[in-house]
Amino acid sequence: MNDSNDTYLPRWFWLGVPILLYFGHYLARAFLSHPVYDAWLRHEAGLTESGTVLLLALALAGGLYVTRWAVHTGDRRLMLFFGLFALGCLYFGGEEASWGQHWFGWATPEEWRALNNQAETNLHNSNALAGSLLDQLPRNLLAIAMLVGGAILPLVRRARGVVYAPGTVRYWIMPGIECVPIGFIAPLASIPEKLFEAAFDEVPFPFDIDAGEVKELMFAVFLALYIVAVIARIRHRRNNVPQGG
């Protein structure tokens, strides 16, 4: 492996891209006028939400690729894990785009409008308990998985010198050091906004970046980066294990 010991991705990619995408929002908010920032980065058609959907589409494609590879390995645990990963990306991306409504602009049926607190054709904005189960629950579970499995555990393993044996299930599914930066950034992305709201009842300029949407983008960055890292492992293993080995 390279100098990071457990990743085949270049450091500038897994370290630089998450930092640039997250802190770039604060820089854009500081140096762009409010109308320009609002038009280009916020709302359903803005770069933040469009980027989220695009990254989730890439993560879905990567998940399907790895699931197909897992089928060829014959390991049902890998098939199940990466199959669920792909389904999760499909749900996340589909819901984020309201299954195409944000792009194609169809009207929400009246029956659905009565059940959805934002009058959109998605499930996660459903009223009452259904919305919590379809939005907050999976969001919080993913945040915990990113923080613990994607950020903390790789650092603990590295500090203890633990290396998973190549070809084992843990080797394939556990995030490596490449997920640590985004593993911290994604689940904690809205903390500055919440701290300002708690202390001052409002978010001052230039921290008013619509942190909820930025956080969703960071979630998508984590999923895309993770599956790219898995694909890199697969290709490295393919290129370095002799036929029949």
Neighbours of 241 (CB within 10 A): 11
pTM exceeds 0.85 for this model = yes
Quote the pLDDT of residue 4.
44
Quote the pLDDT of residue 47.
93
Rounded to whole angstroms, the Cα distance separating 88 from 92 reads 6
User: Domain-by-domain residue ranges, the chain?
Assistant: 11-239
Contacts of 245 (CB under 8 A, 6+ apart): none
Rounded to whole angstroms, the Cα distance separating 52 from 44 reads 10
List C-alpha distances in Å: 189 to 11, 48, 114, 129, 169.
Answer: 21, 14, 32, 25, 30
Which residues of the chain fall short of a pLDDT of 70? 1-5, 101-108, 110-132, 241-245
Quote the pLDDT of residue 154.
96
Quote the pLDDT of residue 66.
98
Quote the pLDDT of residue 25.
96
Which candidate, 9, 17, 94, 23, places its Cα nearest to that of 56? Answer: 94
Which candidate, 100, 102, 125, 103, places its Cα nearest to that of 112? Answer: 125
Quote the pLDDT of residue 104.
67
Q: Are 190 and 212 in contact (CB under 8 A)?
A: yes
Contacts of 17 (CB under 8 A, 6+ apart): 221, 225
The one-letter amino acid code at 150 reads G
Q: Each residue of 182-214: pLDDT tens digit?
A: 999 999 999 999 999 999 889 999 999 999 999
In terms of phi and psi (left: phi > 0; alpha: psi -120 to 50; beta: otherwise), the region of 174 is: beta
Q: Are 49 and 96 in contact (CB under 8 A)?
A: yes
